[in-house]
Amino acid sequence: MLKKILIGLIALVAVVFILTTITGTNYIYKAALYNTANLNDYKIFENRTVEAGAPQPLPVSSDFNKIVPDDSLMKVLEKTKTVSLLVLKNDSIEYEKYWNGYSDSSYSNSFSMAKTIVGLLCAFARKDGKILSFDQAVGFYLPEFKTEDKSTITIGDLLTMSSGTDWDESYSSPFSTTTEAYYGTDLYKVATGVKGVLLPGVQWRYKSGDTELLGLVLEKATGKNLSEYASEKLWKPLGAEHPALWSLDKKDGREKAYCCFNSNARDFSRIGTLLLHKGNWKGNQLLDTSVIDLYTHPLSIRDENDDTANYYGYQLWRLPDRNGVFYLRGILGQYVIVIPQKNVVVVRLGETRGEPIRHSYEEVYGIVDWILKKF
């Protein structure tokens, strides 16, 4: 009897393996093994190095750590398993704290903060003339987008999450498009395999696939992989102190453009500082002010609930009720928050998010209100 059961199990496993191979869903084994995304997922993926250049260490304020989070904010930070909190005011480190063994050089997954990085790389490509206009059709670069249902989708539609495609952003199903993108080995096929179901530019809907497509466009437009271009346009000019790691779909493959740019709090803050100063880095205008204004301006597109998506810009988030605050955001509570009225940039990295508040989360509001009150 035991022998028959064992033979049956082996046969079942063989059938499942054959079926997943035929259907191209072998990625579910990796999804089942690791279950949920983690700050250290760069260890389970192949990575490409985003090279740093001459380091430009961040200055430390004479008032370093004199202003600390109040008890209520600290409770939220600890509840949400914060691992890093960094505050820069006037480009100097005003506050810095780490938890759970993390430090100023620990790698941590950006998750969807990478979307803003990719958005900025698109701005550089336009500046360089590699992308002629954000009104260009995606099909100019990707032949899969010359079909009737996708031929009118533009780069701008991808930047504003209004492509109108059927990308499934579900995180709970092992068979969702997003799960396959994260654990699978063919991002090009997954990203370009979407169908156009709505007119582009009409409805805002958050889709990691839109950013992955921007990454593919950048590859074709620049002739470089994302890591090379990010090193050239951002990581070296901004004086990052450490190389970054960008996770790939396979060895020597493509970057997970929508996520998985791995760095540390101090180096992540440089993206916020560039945005705070409207494209200027230490007197060098890397991007035009008008581009940063465009990226941080609220969208007027309606979302799925027929509300105005003024909580979003071009591949970054906004707090409409906090007077100009905008931020990069990752799924486990990764944030680079820019508070222009205080000349402050905050980086918070952690393992989870708190309670949702409108289109954001309690830790974001807690941090912003602390800065507005105390700084």
- 273-298: per-residue pLDDT in tens? 999 999 999 999 999 999 999 999 99
Q: Domain 62-374 is of which CATH architecture?
A: 3-Layer(aba) Sandwich (3.40)
Query: Residue range 95-105: average pLDDT?
Result: 97
What confidence score (pLDDT) does residue 33 get? 60
The two structure tokens encoding residue 154: 């533009």
> How far apart, in whole angstroms, are the C-alpha atoms of residue 167 and residue 163?
10
What confidence score (pLDDT) does residue 30 get? 65
In the chain, where are the structural domains located? 2-33, 62-374
For the cut 70, the answer to whether the pLDDT of residue 1 exceeds it is no
What confidence score (pLDDT) does residue 10 get? 45
> How far apart, in whole angstroms, are the C-alpha atoms of residue 217 and residue 336?
25
What confidence score (pLDDT) does residue 40 get? 96
CB within 8 A of 215, min separation 6: which ones? 118, 226, 254, 255, 257, 258
Q: Where are the alpha helices (DSSP H) in the chain?
A: 2-23, 27-34, 71-79, 113-127, 155-159, 177-183, 187-192, 208-222, 226-230, 265-276, 289-296, 362-374
Number of residues in the chain? 375
CB within 8 A of 163, min separation 6: which ones? 153, 157, 194, 196, 200, 207, 209, 210, 213
Taking only the tens place, the pLDDT of each residue in 218-268 is 999 999 999 999 999 999 999 999 999 999 999 999 999 999 999 999 999
For the cut 90, the answer to whether the pLDDT of residue 168 exceeds it is yes
| Of 175 and 306, the one with more pLDDT | 306
pLDDT, averaged across the chain:
93
What confidence score (pLDDT) does residue 21 get? 40
Lowest mean pLDDT among 21-30, 151-160, 299-308: 21-30
At 18, is the pLDDT very low, low, confident or very high (cuts 50, 70, 90)?
Answer: very low
Q: Which residues pair with 248 in a beta bridge?
A: 255
What confidence score (pLDDT) does residue 163 get? 98
Taking only the tens place, the pLDDT of each residue in 106-118 is 999 999 999 999 9
Please state the pTM of the whole predicted model.
Answer: 0.93
For the cut 60, the answer to whether the pLDDT of residue 8 exceeds it is no
Instruction: Report helix, strand or coil for 319.
Output: strand
